[in-house]
């Protein structure tokens, strides 16, 4: 998200806007008002308040897009896509910080506009508009702060999901280690140097031992899957 500096100069019945490059909300305003409107009946102060309110609306739209991106990311995290989520987490973190850096410095401007001593001779309607504008700014600031909390929540979800995946992996690794150790124990017993009749069975005995080891592995695997050990 990139921002454009907007400067407003207001005098009696005159409002001048200065900006480097087009502003989408001003273009939308012009398009909407081409068919005729009542904007012209506003005082310069009230029109400035309206322009600033429309400018704040861009932050509300930006936060809405941000929230949709967070929802898509969390769905991706829950689908266990792992490290593929890290670049998107970084991008959303920068996005939230950018929103706050763009909006926070305006606090002093909006609070000054709402003070009674800013325009003591202005009509009561204009003062009311500036007060409402200050309240709307605070709402926008709260939403931007909440956007940062959403990123932290997504990171916590990612960390939890990663921990669960690690736990599942370690559980599987532990099971494989136990099975391998059990088979090694059985093979060690079969390799003991005793003159037992079993060791005189030649090839048949060898394949019986292999089949027994395979059966132990299969039974243990089926039992582990049934108990949901991995």
pLDDT score at 103: 86
Closest Cα to residue 18, out of 27, 8, 30? 8
Four-way CATH pick for 43-164: 1.10.10.10, 3.40.50.10190, 2.70.150.10, 1.20.58.340: 1.20.58.340
Per CATH, 43-164 and 168-226 having the same topology is answered: yes
pLDDT of residue 151: 87
Q: Which residue ranges make up each domain of the chain? A: 43-164, 168-226
User: Which two tokens mark 29?
Assistant: 């305003």
CA atoms of 189 and 37, how far apart (whole Å): 95
pLDDT computed for residue 149 by the predictor: 87
* Euclidean distance between CA atoms 100 and 1, whole angstroms: 11
Looking at residue 153, what is its pLDDT?
A: 87
pLDDT attached to residue 68: 92
pLDDT of 202-220, one tens digit each?
Answer: 666 667 777 777 887 787 7
Cβ neighbourhood burial of 35 (10 Å; 0-12, 13-18, 19+): exposed
User: Could you state, in chain order, the average pLDDT of each consecutive group of 10 residues for the chain (230 residues)?
Assistant: 71 76 73 64 77 85 90 83 77 88 85 76 73 88 88 85 78 80 73 62 69 78 72
Architecture per CATH, 168-226 = Up-down Bundle (1.20)
DSSP, collapsed to helix, strand or coil, labels residue 1 as coil
Q: Six-digit token pair at 126?
A: 């204009």
């Amino acid at each position: 998200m990139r921002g454009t500096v907007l400067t407003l100069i207001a005098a009696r019945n005159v409002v001048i806007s200065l900006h480097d490059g087009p502003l989408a909300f001003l273009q939308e305003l012009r398009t909407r008002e081409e068919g005729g409107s009542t904007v012209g009946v506003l005082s310069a102060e009230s029109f400035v308040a309206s322009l600033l309110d429309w400018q704040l609306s861009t932050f509300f739209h930006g936060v809405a897009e941000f929230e949709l991106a967070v929802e898509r990311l969390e769905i991706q995290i829950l689908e266990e896509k792992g490290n593929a989520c890290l670049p998107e987490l970084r991008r959303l973190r920068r996005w939230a910080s950018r929103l706050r850096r763009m909006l926070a410095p305006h606090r002093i401007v909006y609070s000054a506009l709402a003070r009674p001593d800013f325009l003591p001779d202005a009509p009561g309607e204009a003062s009311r508009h500036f007060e409402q504008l200050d309240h709307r700014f605070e709402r926008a600031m709260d939403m931007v702060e909440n956007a940062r909390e959403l990123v932290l929540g997504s990171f916590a979800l990612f960390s939890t999901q990663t921990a669960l995946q690690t736990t599942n992996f370690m559980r599987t690794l532990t099971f494989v280690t136990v099975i391998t150790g059990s088979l090694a124990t059985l093979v060690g017993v079969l390799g003991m140097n005793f003159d037992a009749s079993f060791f005189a069975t030649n090839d048949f005995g060898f394949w019986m031992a292999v089949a027994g080891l395979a059966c132990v592995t299969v039974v243990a695997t089926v039992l582990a899957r049934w108990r949901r050990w991995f």
